[in-house]
Structure formats: C-alpha cells, structure tokens
C-alpha cells in the first residue's frame, strides 16, 4: 500500500516542482535582461520517449522560444516554454538511442556532457485481414481480407498509403491499396504483380506485371488510374533481355534509369521516355530456378544517400548484395548474410544477429531503407523464414531483430517482444518511420508504429 501511494504521489510532486520553478522564473523575469553568455546547468529526466517533457536549466536562456533551438542529436525538440533560465522541451521522434542534447541561441551553441537515453515504444497492430478468410478487397478496412499465403511485397507513398502485391504462382492476383487515413481498401490491378515502387519524381507508382512485358503506371492523384506501359527490346539488341519474366524494379535517381531483375537472372535497365531495355549483366548470387515461385523472392532498392549503390535481397540464397551501377566493371558483392547458409528454421535460440557479414537470414524477402536528417540510415528486412523483421544499421553494420519472435509463428499484436508473424514477406516505410508489413501466412497487413 505504501509503495502504491509513493508511486502515485511522486509524479504529482515532480509536476508541482516544475510548475513552481516556472512560476518563480516568471515572477523574476520582469525587466530582466537575458543577453549574457549562455550557460547550461542540467536537464532532467535523463531518459524518455516520444513527447516526453524534458526540463533544461541554465543561465540566460531567455523567454523567446522562437529564438532558441534544442537538438537531440540532430533532431529538433519542441520548446513549449522558455522562462529565463528554464526550458520545457518535448523529445522528438526517434532521435537515436543515446542522445547528445544541445541548445542553440543565436550564435551561441552549447552541449551537455551527459547523455539523454531515448526509449523506443513500438507496438504492432493489425491493419486489415483476418486469418482463415478469403478475398474481400474494396470497402472499409474492418471488412478487408486476403487469402492466406497470397500477400507479397509492398511500398508506401508520401501520404502513408500502403500498396501490397498479392498472388500465388500460376494463379490470379493483383495490387491492393490500403489507406488508414481514408479507412478503405481498393483493388488497383487485377493481374498478377511481382513488385511495386513509388517514384518521387513522377509522383506515381510503377508495378511489374507477369503478363509479358507490362509495366503498370498508377496515378494516385487521379483516383489511382492505371496505364499500361510496354518494355521494348533494343534494335539491334546487344543481348536479348528476358523482360517477360521481370521480378522486381528500382529507380536510380542518379542516372534516371529503372533497374530490373528477371527470374532468369538478368539485370537490365530502361527509361520511361522510350521503355527500351538495355542488358547489363547476369546475377551472381541468385540461386533459384525460373520454374518455381521462389525465383520471384527477390527485392531491390537504391541507397537514398549513395544513389548509385543498388542493394538486392535474394531470399533463396539468404544474402543481400550491393553493387555500384555507375561503374560498369562493378560486380555484386555480398553485403549481408552467408551465401546459401540459412538460419535454422526451427531454433528459437540460434544466434542470427550480429555484424552484417556474420548474421544469418532465412528466406529474406523485401527490404526497405530509410535515412533521416539525424544521419541515421537503416535497412529493414522481412525475414520470412525466421518470422521476424530485421534491422541493419547501415552506419555500424549491426543487424538486430526489431519485431517478431524467432521461429514462433502467429498473428499476435502487442509490443515487439509479444508480437508474432507468419512468414512476413513485404515491408513499406512511411515518411513518419512507421512500418507496414505484409504477413503472408496469416493473410494480414500489420503495422509497427511508435506510440
């Protein structure tokens, strides 16, 4: 009982203390000049999460919040009140696990020696879909369902809408829009689709069809109207491109080309203005055969900060590769994982994380890379065979498990330690850093978000 009283009264005492501090500062600031040298004394608490209230004490901080900036690493916090020698600041979203807090006033900039420890509070929830259901696409999200084992890769647009490919090798499929903001799903394409991406320049989506040489162009600003574009061979071709079996695409902002890989292990490129396919070279690490659906378990993405570096996730080979497309002589090299060495699909204790060249994957599927203004750059990987979402810190090279319980199948929501997945295949990152997940085995679209 005494413990409960203490737990209840402690936050109240802290709040009253803060209010008294600001009240005293307000009483004393009348006619006060805060133009002296900026000094920092302390901040508290020393840990918190998104929108936690942080009190900063010092000297000559001033009373005009618009003239002040407080940074947690490189992300700016929101100053709600400036009272002379005290600031109240709200912690920003995902500034990094260990933060240096700095205060900027005019030309003065000071940094605290001690660090602020940011606590990420993630939760996994079901957006749409229900285990054991059939297709029902078109309507509100509560009634939207997919068949199990049909959801594949996906992507997000800047508005936070998620687009998921769904199909099964040799059968019908398509592309579905999932919009939480509008609370609706919509069938955009009713043909088999292998991959989809958002193009920031044209502000449209491009999807790879399995019907011969089709590329679908989708305009979100025009009610997601679909236009068919057709790939063409070179005349005469330096080498015949098997564009009828295109498995995935990615756009290189550095040279204006779309790059694509085929299930027959070719890398080629094309531009939208003529759609002419130019053969580049054969894949080195794709160990699948074109006769199986596994040949389409491949995903590509360019590095947002090194735009000529092309990353490819080969699920059948259990590796992620990288190559520099600006250098014709550049060959694919293994960036993460071990060639044809998979994580144990039944062990819950095997060490699968660590440095990128030491880690293990198991049917790694789609990946997505996000870089922000704080300098963080992370690659998220849907590692279907371990039932987890993995994160590769591209600055340190370390691989960790973000969410999911290793080799524990399920459809449970909750914290990252509680949540379970069943063969997650697709991931799509929003501008806010939330992660949509196409959970293939359960037939559900899930979301990992910060709360």
Instruction: Catalogue all structural domains in the chain, each as residue range(s) with its CATH number.
Output: 2-118 (2.60.40.10), 122-450 (2.120.10.30)
Say if residue 184's pLDDT is above 70.
yes
- State the chain's mean pLDDT as an integer: 89
Please give the pLDDT value at position 291. 55
pTM attached to this predicted model:
0.83
3 state DSSP class of 244: helix
- Sign of the dihedral through C-alpha 207, 160, 368, 171: negative
CA 360 vs CA 54, 139, 432: distances in Å: 40, 40, 29
Cα(194)–Cα(443) distance, integer angstroms? 17
Helix (H) or strand (E) holding 198: strand 193-199
Q: Pick the more confident residue, 93 or 249.
A: 249
C-alpha gyration radius of the chain:
25
Q: What is the dihedral of CA 184, 190, 193, 198, to 10 degrees?
A: -40
Helix (H) or strand (E) holding 20: helix 2-28
CA 320 vs CA 300, 388, 400: distances in Å: 9, 16, 15
What is the rounded average pLDDT of the residues 51-55?
95
Taking alpha carbons only, the member of 427, 344, 420 closest to residue 131 is: 420
Give residue 402's pLDDT band: very low, low, confident or very high (50, 70, 90): very high
Do 295 and 248 form a contact (C-beta atoms < 8 A)? Answer: no
Give residue 3's pLDDT band: very low, low, confident or very high (50, 70, 90): very low
Burial of 6 (0-12, 13-18, 19+ CB in 10 A): exposed
Give residue 264's pLDDT band: very low, low, confident or very high (50, 70, 90): confident
Quote the percentage of the chain above a pLDDT of 90.
70
What is the rounded average pLDDT of the residues 219-246?
91
Cα(233)–Cα(276) distance, integer angstroms? 6
What is the rounded average pLDDT of the residues 170-184?
90
Cβ neighbours for 435, distance < 8 A, ≥ 6 positions apart: 368, 380, 389, 402, 427, 428, 429, 447, 448, 449
- Give the N- to C-terminal CA distance of the chain in Å, as an integer: 30
CB count, 10 Å around CB of 231?
A: 21
Give me the sheet containing 101-105, strands edge to edge.
75-76, 68-72, 101-105, 108-111
- Give the tens place of pLDDT for each residue, 75-120: 999 999 999 999 999 999 888 889 999 999 999 999 999 999 999 8
Counted residue by residue, the chain has a size of 451
Report the DSSP beta bridge partners of residue 246.
262
Cα within 13 Å of Cα(396), Cβ side:
9
3 state DSSP class of 185: strand
Please give the pLDDT value at position 292. 56
Do 413 and 404 form a contact (C-beta atoms < 8 A)? Answer: no
- Give the tens place of pLDDT for each residue, 114-137: 999 999 888 999 999 999 888 899
Say if residue 16's pLDDT is above 70.
no
What is the rounded average pLDDT of the residues 138-166?
95
For 223, the token pair is: 């009610």
Q: Pick the more confident residue, 10 or 335.
A: 335
Give residue 397's pLDDT band: very low, low, confident or very high (50, 70, 90): very high
Please give the pLDDT value at position 34. 87
For 162, the token pair is: 């998620």
Q: Where are the beta strands (DSSP E) in 49-183?
A: 53-62, 68-72, 75-76, 78-82, 84-90, 98-99, 101-105, 108-111, 116-118, 122-128, 151-156, 162-166, 174-179
Cα(305)–Cα(316) distance, integer angstroms? 28
Quote the percentage of the chain above a pLDDT of 70.
89
- Give the tens place of pLDDT for each residue, 65-79: 999 999 999 899 999
- Give the tens place of pLDDT for each residue, 275-296: 999 999 998 888 766 555 555 5
Please give the pLDDT value at position 376. 82
- The β-bridge relationship of strands 278-282 and 266-270 is antiparallel
- Give the tens place of pLDDT for each residue, 337-366: 999 999 998 898 999 999 999 999 999 989
For 152, the token pair is: 């594949």
Say if residue 323's pLDDT is above 70.
yes
Taking alpha carbons only, the member of 86, 68, 102, 116 closest to residue 18 is: 86
Q: Angle at the Cα of 82 (from 78 to 84), degrees rounded to 5?
A: 150
Cα(261)–Cα(246) distance, integer angstroms? 6
- Sign of the dihedral through C-alpha 60, 66, 67, 73: positive
Say if residue 25's pLDDT is above 50.
no
Say if residue 14's pLDDT is above 60.
no
């Amino acid at each position: 009982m005494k413990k409960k009283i203490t737990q209840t009264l402690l936050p109240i005492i802290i709040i009253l203390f803060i209010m008294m501090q600001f009240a005293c500062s307000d009483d004393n600031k009348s006619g006060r000049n805060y133009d002296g040298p900026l000094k920092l004394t302390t901040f508290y608490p020393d840990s918190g999460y998104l929108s936690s209230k942080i009190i900063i004490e010092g000297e000559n901080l001033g009373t005009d919040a618009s003239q002040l900036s407080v940074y947690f690493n490189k992300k700016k916090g929101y100053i709600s009140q400036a009272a002379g020698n005290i600031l109240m600041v709200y912690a920003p979203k995902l500034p990094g696990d260990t933060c240096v807090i700095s205060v900027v006033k005019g030309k003065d900039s000071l940094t605290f020696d001690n660090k602020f420890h940011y606590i990420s509070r993630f939760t996994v929830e079901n957006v749409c879909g229900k285990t054991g259901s059939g297709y029902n696409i078109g309507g509100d999200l509560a009634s939207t369902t997919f068949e199990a084992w049909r959801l594949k890769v996906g992507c997000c647009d800047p508005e936070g809408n998620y687009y998921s490919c769904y199909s099964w090798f040799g059968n019908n499929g398509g592309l579905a829009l999932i919009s939480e903001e509008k609370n609706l799903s919509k069938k955009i394409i009713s043909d088999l689709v292998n991959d989809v991406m958002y193009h920031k320049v044209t502000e449209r989506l491009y999807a790879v069809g399995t019907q011969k040489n089709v590329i679908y162009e989708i305009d979100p600003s025009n009610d997601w109207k679909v236009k068919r574009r057709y790939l063409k061979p070179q005349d005469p071709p330096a080498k015949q491109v098997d564009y009828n079996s295109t498995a995935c695409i990615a756009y290189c902002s550095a040279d204006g080309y779309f790059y694509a890989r085929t299930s027959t292990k070719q890398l080629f490129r094309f531009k939208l203005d003529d759609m002419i396919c130019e053969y580049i070279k054969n894949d080195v690490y794709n160990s699948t055969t074109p006769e199986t659906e596994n040949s389409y378990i491949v995903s590509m993405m360019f590095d947002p900060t090194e735009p000529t570096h092309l990353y490819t996730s080969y699920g059948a080979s259990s590796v992620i590769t990288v190559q520099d497309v600006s250098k014709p002589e550049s060959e694919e090299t293994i960036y993460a994982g071990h060639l044809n060495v998979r994580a144990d699909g039944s062990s819950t204790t095997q060490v699968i994380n660590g440095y990128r060249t030491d880690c293990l994957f198991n049917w790694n599927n789609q990946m997505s890379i996000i870089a922000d203004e704080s300098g963080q750059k992370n690659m998220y990987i849907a590692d279907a065979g371990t039932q987890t979402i993995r994160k590769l810190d591209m600055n340190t090279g370390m691989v960790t498990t973000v969410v999911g319980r290793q080799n524990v199948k399920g459809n449970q929501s909750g914290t990252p330690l509680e949540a379970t997945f069943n063969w997650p295949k697709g991931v799509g990152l929003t501008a806010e850093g939330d992660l949509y997940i196409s959970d293939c085995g359960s037939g559900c679209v899930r979301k990992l978000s910060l709360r």
